[in-house]
Amino acid sequence: MKIKLKSFVILCFFLTAAFLCFSCTPPEKDETLAQLRLLLNDEKLTPQTRYAVINRIANSLYTSKKTGGMVLFLTDWVEKNPDDIYNAYWLLMVASSYLESGAEPVAEYYFNRILKNYPDLLVQGKSVHFLCLQHLIQISSSSANKISYFNQLINRFPSLVSITEMYVRLAMEYEKEGEYKEALKSYSLFLKQPDSSTIQIPGIPDAYSNARKMVDFSNSTKDWTFESLNALETAVKRAIRQYDWRSLDKYRSKVNFFAMSWKSSETDANALENFSMRGFMVGQRIRYNEKLDESSNPNEAYLRTTGWSPYMPVWYLYFRKVNFPVDPEIHGRWEWAGIYYGEKL
């Protein structure tokens, strides 16, 4: 249940509070706080008036740099008045105070406590639960918790967030938790959003291309992969020696295969190529180096070859280990993923 505050009453109260705050000397301010505390004992106060009194006390303590006193006052009030409909807001003030002081684990505890134990509340038109989730996304170090927060934002506040961005960030947290099937689902939902190919997400520059690669690879046969780098290298070299362009076409990755210069990027529009090796082998004198390039490593390898074209004779065939933990039988195998034109830079 969401509760809206009576803005006119609040406005009048804050104007009076501001006047008192600037006009009172410290002793008078303390006397005012004491009077306000006494006023809280009046059982005839309406919930809105009681809210105004509590808020006045809390803000007065805060502006007097007595944040410890504010926290104690509000937590004590919540403990003794579990039926107060504004308890979510009081604890939000507590959490925000801890967040401001750098005590993020304590702030996280209170933000979570609000979400789990108190109904949502609209304060000045803003959802307390939404504010909690926004803060938790920023300060939480647990991917499992972030998964819950992102799902809540998507399901409860779709009009207040970018659903497209939420799906990407959710997928990344699933990956960190090793929940690869769920990550794949989230990436698929991301790609279905109308702005997935154009959205700019801070900290995730290649969101669309990475999601596209993963989803396309998942939907493919993956029958071009090899058990080991040695098996892939041996097969490719044999096909080159025999000028067997059909086998080379078979060995190439059927998803996200690229052919580009060293200065280009896999995300460039002209980097993804779909051509047959036949046009580059017939009538040519193709050669390859006996050993893989020295820059090769346990996850990537380069085979230097020559003779493909009078205009661009040198090609480096790029092999890489498949990173697809969603399928243990495919994860860790090797694929011929692309071609780099020209000598290495």
DSSP at 159? T
Tell me the average pLDDT of the chain: 88
Q: How confident is the model at residue 9 (pLDDT cuts 50, 70, 90)?
A: very low
Give the contacts of 298 (CB within 8 A, at least 6 positions apart).
321
Phi-psi region of 44 (alpha: psi -120 to 50; beta: other; left: phi over 0): alpha
Average pLDDT over residues 48-76: 88
In this prediction, residue 190 carries a pLDDT of: 98
Name the residue with higher pLDDT: 85 or 7. 85
The first and second tokens of residue 330, run together, are 């495919």
Report the DSSP beta bridge partners of residue 341. Answer: 261, 315
In this prediction, residue 35 carries a pLDDT of: 64
For 220-252, the DSSP string reads S--TT-BSSHHHHHHHHHHHHHTT-HHHHHHHB
In this prediction, residue 272 carries a pLDDT of: 59
- With beta carbons less than 8 A apart as the criterion, state whether 33 and 57 touch: yes
3-class DSSP state for residue 272? strand
Residue environment code for 207-217, b if the CB has 16+ CB neighbours within 10 A, otherwise e: bbbbbbbbbeb
Percentage of the chain beyond pLDDT 70 is 86
3-class DSSP state for residue 339? strand
- With beta carbons less than 8 A apart as the criterion, state whether 132 and 92 touch: yes
Angle subtended at Cα 108 by Cα 187 and Cα 82, rounded to the nearest 5 degrees:
120
Please state, in angstroms and as integers, the Cα–Cα distance from residue 113 to each residue in 72, 90, 95, 99, following that order.
16, 12, 10, 15
Residue that is written with structure tokens 């996200």 in the block:
256
Residue that is written with structure tokens 């699933």 in the block:
174
Please state, in angstroms and as integers, the Cα–Cα distance from residue 16 to each residue in 43, 47, 50, 53, 56, following that order.
22, 19, 15, 12, 10
Q: How confident is the model at residue 23 (pLDDT cuts 50, 70, 90)?
A: very low
The structural domains of the chain, ordered by start, are 1-139 (1.25.40.10), 142-219 (no CATH), 229-341 (3.10.450)
Q: How far apart are CA 311 and CA 280, in angstroms?
A: 11
Query: What is the pTM assigned to this prediction?
Result: 0.80
Q: How confident is the model at residue 321 (pLDDT cuts 50, 70, 90)?
A: very high
Give the contacts of 161 (CB within 8 A, at least 6 positions apart).
153, 154
In this prediction, residue 273 carries a pLDDT of: 64
In this prediction, residue 32 carries a pLDDT of: 67
